[in-house]
Structure formats: C-alpha cells, structure tokens
Amino acid sequence: MNTQILPIEDPGKDESYVRRAAEILRAGGLVIIPTETVYGLAANALDGSAVRRIYEAKGRPSDNPLIVHVSNMEMIPPLVEDFPDGARRLAEAYWPGPLTIIVRKSGRIPPETSGGLDTVAIRMPSHPVARAIIETAGIPLAAPSANLSGKPSPTNARRCIEDMMGRVDAIVDSGSCQVGVESTVITLAEGKPRLLRPGGITLEQLEAVLGQVEVDPAVLHKLSAGAKASSPGMKYKHYAPKAHVILVEGSLQQFAEYVKTHQQGKTAALCFDGEEAFLSVRAFSYGKKEDAATQAARLFDKLRELDDAGEETVYARCPDKEGVGLAVYNRLIRAAGFEVIKL
C-alpha cells in the first residue's frame, strides 16, 4: 500500500490535507491522526469492514474494543442507547479532552467497533487537527493507538511511520502529542461508575463530578483468564518494547543496588531525572520523580528508545500511583507483563 504523509500544523492553513484525510476515511480507508493523548489509527466507526482493516493493520485481537471519536455532542445520540446524566456531567467537565466514557450502544455501532460487546466507548479529543478531520469527514472515527499491537503507543508521527508505513492509506504529521498516554476510560453502563483505564483525567477528577468511583481490579492487576475486556488496554500485554522490562519498587539506593547485582547482557535502567549518575548501567530518564505529567508525556517514546539502543533487559523505577501517576504505573506494569520486584 502506498502511504501518503499529510503534514498538518494548522487545520485552517492546511485545509487541503484535512480534506484529503476526510475523503480517505469516508471511502473506507485508514488514516493515522494525532490526538492530545497518542496518535490514533482511524477508520469509519460505522463501517464494519473498514474497522476490520484496523485490526489487520495493527495485528490486534478482534475482541479488544475500540474507542469512537466524535467532534461534537450532536454526533452522540445516534451511537448510543442512552447517554445518562453522569455521562453528560463528565462531558461538560472534561470534554473535549482525554476522557472516554462507556455507555450502552445503539444498533448503528457494528460488533467490529465494540469488540462484540453491547457497549460503546466514546470520547471527544481536544486536538484541533483530530477535531477538524472528524468534522470534515462527518463521521465518528474508531481509533486505537497507531502502533503494531503490543508495542509502545506512538506520540509522534515518526514512530507511526516506523510501524505503519505501507499498512495504512495516510499518516497525518502534526508533531508531538501533549498528554502522552491514552485516555482515561470509565464505564457508566453497569450501575456504579468504574474506572477501567487511568489516564490524563485522574480518579480524583472523576470523583469530583460523580462521587465515589470504583477502580477495576484490572487497572493494577492482570485480567483473569477467560475474562472479557470491556476497555482497550485491559486484556493483553501492552506498551512493551522488545526488551524484557522489569518494574522495581523501592528507594533509589535499593534500585541502584538491585540493578548492579542483576545486570545481564545489554542491561539498562528506566529512571527519573538526576538519577543517572547513581546507576551502573546506561540510564534512560522518563521525567522528574514528582512530575507524573512529564513522565506520562515521555514514557512511550523512552520505551521505544530502549529498542533503538538494542537493550535486552530493562529495570524500571516505579512511579507514584497518585493522580496521573496511576496511569503511568498502569502502562509500565503492562509493558513489564506484570513482572514487579518489590524491594
């Protein structure tokens, strides 16, 4: 497949590229688009055959549901059976933004988009290019992260090109993403609100609107065998570089000593800013220890840099689990295949 590169810095100035992306999507094609979280691999969410092409391009299991992206509230009623009051209050507070809300779907959502579930995950991205493309196409877009399944999500177009050149019709290049980890996912389809995936909108922010929100066990632990994934990012090993990642909980001194005594082959460390000098192996910093937002923005690209460097074993410093830090921890334990050493 001949993949077009569409550079769009400003959707107003680069209107011809926006129209081209929209034309491809309306015709059933695949276009990688930027969002404020990560780059997404988009197709017409209402076209089951177009959505099947997403799974094929990514090598993604077809029982893993996709998120439907809209550009305005008027697009939602045809997609859902009901949009409850809690969903409306969350939308008023945090849309456009990095929040996905799961509700009961209408018959217009094909099973390919919902992963065979009777629910649909919806979000309204804040990225101006994503919104312009959705608006111009006039259709909701199903869009998981634009990487080969299991690899770290791409936060810039260069990483999309590495994974997807020749697999999709077009890649929109709009620079780096701001948030850096995928959206928060909350379900309102099962009675009590339940956090399924942490992201840029924190648990505390959700509870400020809804009151108490349950945290699904799969946020911090492996999904039990045979369980159905109700959100992207729950079921399979995700976000992983080729290197063997091991998450290590403990102080810097404990971490440094553990790495020193467990070096094997090409070993590296994923650490916080300023800690490199204390480590006996090549170190990759993914942000300040007290700055979870920076950690989130850098994490996926740092995981990709580990592969660029040919590292084989990577010991990763454990982030705090408060606020956005919960999202960082959630991605790291999946990158590590839930292998955690507690010192």
pLDDT digits (tens, 9 = 90+) for 109-168: 999 999 999 999 999 999 999 999 999 999 999 999 999 988 899 999 999 999 999 999
SS3 category, 24 = helix
Decide if pLDDT at 233 tops 70.
no
Predicted pLDDT at 61? 73
Residue type, 316: A
pLDDT of residue 191: 83
Give the separation between CA 319 and CA 132, rounded to whole angstroms.
35
The pLDDT score that the predictor gives to residue 25 is 98
In this structure, is the dihedral angle defined by the CA atoms of residues 113, 216, 193 and 118, taken in order, positive or negative? Answer: positive
Give me the percent of the chain exceeding a pLDDT of 70: 95
Range scoring the smallest mean pLDDT among 49-58, 69-78, 232-241: 232-241
C-alpha of 319 from chain center:
18
Q: What is the mean pLDDT of residues 303-319?
A: 96
CB 210 within 8 A of CB 331: no
Q: What average pLDDT does the chain have?
A: 94
- Whether the per-residue pLDDT at 231 is higher than 90: the answer is no
Number of H helices, E strands in the chain: 10, 16
* pLDDT tens digits, one per residue of 72-118: 999 999 999 999 999 999 999 999 999 999 999 999 999 999 999 99
Map tokens 């507690």 to a residue: 342
Q: Is the pLDDT of residue 241 over 80?
A: yes
Inter-axis angle of helices 325-335 and 292-308, nearest 10: 20
Q: Please state the rounded mean pLDDT for residues 238-256.
A: 93
Q: Which of 196, 198, 187 is nearest to 98 (CA)?
A: 198
**For the chain, how long is the longest CA-to-CA vector?**
58
C-alpha span between 331 and 96 (Å, rounded): 23
Structure tokens at 314: 């990577």
User: What is the reported pLDDT for 56?
Assistant: 95
pLDDT at 224: 63
> Degrees (nearest 5) of the Cα angle 110, 157, 146?
25
| Token pair in block for residue 303 | 């995981």
* Residue range 243-250: mean pLDDT, rounded: 96
- Give mean pLDDT, residues 221-250: 74
pLDDT in tens, 174-216: 999 999 999 999 999 988 999 999 999 999 999 999 999 999 9
pLDDT cut 90: percent of the chain above it? 89
User: Average of pLDDT values for 38-52?
Assistant: 98
pLDDT higher at 229 or 262: 262
pTM of the model: 0.94
**Tokens representing residue 259 in the block:** 């790495």
Angle between helices 203-210 and 85-94 (to 10 degrees): 130
3-state secondary structure of 99: strand
Pairing type for strands 340-342 and 194-197 reads unpaired
**For 21-32, how does the pLDDT look when each residue is reduced to its tens digit (9 = 90+)?**
999 999 999 999
- The per-residue pLDDT for 234 is 55
Tell me, what's the pLDDT at 64? Answer: 81
Residue 338: the pLDDT is 93
Name which of 115, 124, 38 is nearest 74 in CA terms.
Answer: 124
Map residue 180 onto helix, strand or coil.
Answer: coil
Instruction: Tell me the pairing of strands 31-33 and 170-173.
Output: parallel
The reported pLDDT for the residue numbered 232 is: 62
